[in-house]
Structure 1
């Protein structure tokens, strides 16, 4: 299934490339709680085409994070465009989906717009999760996540999919996703999809809440 999806839809990475990238990124990153991670890649059409984890086994990282990573990838891919308009990360959505005391926040409720397909996300033998035969491969899982960990992938000006990462704090997820994209050499020409860490993320200010041990977060703008 993995091979046929890559041939028919065009997966931007192989399983082996993603496995190495998430393992290396998890080892290099020191933010958050030092957990292990799930990484899921979707192609340009939103189909899951690669799933891997950084730990020594399927239960070395939060099992719930597998489908969260898939939804992050689906969100970042679906809300990013080819250059020059470029990428939008899940981290950039946080402030703008919060309820505003004065109303008028146009993105409030965004997370309910694309419901995750739980049958596709949870189906199959757990022993195949995170392998090149993961049951999610070839499925369009859906889901909308509005905190850090999902960023789009590019070849030149063209968006070719996205990677979603989950397993630690939202800031650490973004940091590891950023490292993965860099190592895969699938960065957009303008990396405008940074995370802005702030203690006052609101519909007015935008931004993303700070996380424990977030000082070394990769792909961040100035913090306060």
Structure 2
């Protein structure tokens, strides 16, 4: 069963036979070890520590880990970003076709902005209705 991992602001599809928790492909300790190894191999030169979050296909959080010495070694907000990316990739995946937000990053870097995002950089969702609206219209009749 595919599971999804998000860390260092990327989400990657992962499948494994070893189940630490029902439906989860990885234990927290294995995730932490692999995340710390990936951080050591980082070639960006930024030397940023990061968070990783694993969710199973049901959206249950299986493991959360950080690469630094303690929780203060990396941006705390990155934990929420990693979780959001894991949930997003999971929600946009099928049982036989996992989606990775890392793919979107690669496509953006290699091909430039997508057609879907052209001109939409200021459109947000109305929290009450879920409909897109322009921030300048907030609080007006047209915003809903």
Q: TM-score, normalised by structure 1?
A: 0.40
The answer as to 2:123 corresponding to 1:200 is no
The answer as to 2:89 corresponding to 1:89 is no
The alpha carbon displacement at 1:205 in A equals: 9.2
Greater helix proportion: 2
What's the RMSD between the two structures over aligned residues?
2.4
Secondary structure in structure 1 of the residue aligned to 2:65: strand
For the structure 1 residues 11 and 199, does the alpha-carbon distance in structure 2 shift closer, same or farther, using more than 3 Å as the test?
closer
CA deviation string 1:169-192 (max 9, x = no partner): xxxxxxxxxxxxxxxxxxxxxxxx
Matches within 5 A, 1:1-224: 6-7=21-22, 10-31=23-44, 33-83=46-96, 86-93=97-104, 148=105, 195-196=106-107, 197-198=109-110, 200-203=112-115
Matched residue count: 98
Secondary structure in structure 2 of the residue aligned to 1:17: helix
The alpha carbon displacement at 1:76 in A equals: 0.8
For the structure 1 residues 33 and 199, does the alpha-carbon distance in structure 2 shift closer, same or farther, using more than 3 Å as the test?
farther
Q: TM-score, normalised by structure 2?
A: 0.60
The higher radius of gyration belongs to 2
Secondary structure in structure 2 of the residue aligned to 1:80: coil
Q: More relative contact order in 1 or in 2 (CA 8 Å, sep 6+)? A: 1
The alpha carbon displacement at 1:202 in A equals: 2.9
Which runs of 5 or more residues in structure 1 are unaligned?
Answer: 94-147, 149-194, 207-224
Aligned to 1:178: none
